Amino acid sequence: MSSRPLAILDARLLDPASGRDERGGLLVVDGRIADLGPGLGAEGLPPGCEVLRAEGLCLAPGLVDLRVMVGEPGAEHKERMDSAVAAAAAGGITAFAMRPDTEPALDDPAMLEFVARRARKLRSVKVYPWAALTRGCQGERLAEMGLLHEAGAVGFTDGPRALADARLMYRALAYATAFDALVAQHPEEPRLAEGGVMNEGWTALRLGLPGIPACAEVVMVERDLRLAEATGGRIHFAGISTAEAVAVIRRAKERGVRVSSDVTAHHLLLTEREVEGYRTYAKVTPPLRREEDREALVAGLADGTIDAVTSDHTPQDQDSKRLPFEQAAFGVVGLETLLAAGLELVHAGRLSLLRLLAAASTAPARLLGLEGGRLERGAPADLVLFDPEACWTVTEEGLHSLARNTPFEGRRFRGRVVRTLVDGRTVFRLEEECGGAV
């Protein structure tokens, strides 16, 4: 906890949970929000209080990232826990859920405790583990879901491997209802996607690359919605990429199915055209789709059909990416560009700022059952202070992640994190002065 009270004054307070958007101050005592509002000023603060003058910059709940790959254990050369939390802090993320497809997989309580212990030692961004849905994330036998839930798992998933066995998914959803656990699925029918490396269509045909059809996604979504409806389980689709899937999920929500979904920041901004020139940094799963799909994703996020936005941070080393396109590994890094990418849509008038923050903080926290994602008295002081107008350019050298596989290299963004606080402690501070706030 912070040893001294902290007051952040003259900030634009943004709380998507309550709809708050007003100029005011916020007081942190013992790592939690003690007071906030337009009436909070320099007078009447606790003795010895540290004062931070925001000068109109935005103060919001820290972002909560639903899906982050950390190479530890097993692939520390791609990303370590310390580098992952440093990258997250630089992106305004105060908590993230770690994918379970490590080596070995997070499929027993001892592995979950390993993750928790490593994160606690760093005293920085909070890390919560997903547990493997099946043993070793292999899709053959269910993991010990009850024990893993008791050990602190925020949900169950096999990461980027879809659970193809419908009977096994049915059993998983039914069993998860005993403790109201979230089951996340990679929405891609494996046999339809087998061998594909990008979106199926004219671009893939022209480049001579095998494609992944859009129907591979909607087939899996339709199947698992039926299973969730039959069992009453909570199904989450991780990384929706097609207009058809958005439409199907919208209809399912209307009839009361317990479904949620997320979209990645790169799918909101980029399309299959990024693959031109065989750019392996644009090779992701699910693949970048058509412009029509991207538009549907933005609209689905804006109207609440899609619940959350995530980085789907998947670090890869140079040897895994600098290969012929078909052989290169899937995935991009995105922790440090999550907020900035979302702000692109705000500046373009496609999303309100509060809707973006709801999708990047409040909704993920709610889905995972975490405390964060709101500015209110008694809530953890997990905060991000950002300048929505500050311009900066993404460079590989400027990233805190060990990996450099960003699809946004050279892109100029408008909106930058100035400071990130976890339990009232500063875990990231922008080096250069910005609006007098740092």
Positions marked catalytic: 312
Residue 358 DSSP symbol: I
Strand runs labelled E in 72-169: 93-98, 126-129, 131-132, 156-157
* Per-residue DSSP letter, 359: I
CB 356 within 8 A of CB 314: no
Residue 238: both structure tokens together: 């991780």
Distance CA 20, CA 391 (A): 26
Q: Output DSSP code: residue 94.
A: E
Count other Cβ atoms within 10 Å, centred on residue 34. 19
Alpha helices in 323-389 (DSSP H): 338-347, 353-357, 363-368
Residues 193 and 212 sit within 8 Å (Cβ to Cβ): yes
Residue 13: CB partners within 8 Å, gap ≥ 6?
20, 21, 22, 23, 24, 26, 36, 37, 59, 375
Structural contact between residues 8 and 386, judged by C-beta atoms closer than 8 angstroms? no
Q: Give CA separation, 316 vs 52, 280, 331, 405, 417, in Å.
A: 38, 11, 7, 6, 24
Between CA 357 and CA 354 the distance in angstroms is 5
Q: Which two structure tokens, joined as six digits, stand for 434?
A: 């910005």
- The DSSP annotation for 276-306 comes to TTT-GGG--SSPP--HHHHHHHHHHHHTTSS
Q: Nearest Cα to 60, choosing from 33, 40, 39?
A: 33
**Alpha carbon of residue 319 to chain centroid:** 25
CA–CA gap between residue 332 and residue 313 (Å, rounded): 6
How many other CB atoms sit within 10 Å of the CB of residue 107? 27
CA 148 to mean position of chain CA atoms: 22
Count of beta carbons in the 10 Å neighbourhood of residue 47: 6
DSSP type of residue 360: I
Q: Angle, to 10 degrees, between the axis of helix 243-254 and the axis of helix 291-302?
A: 30
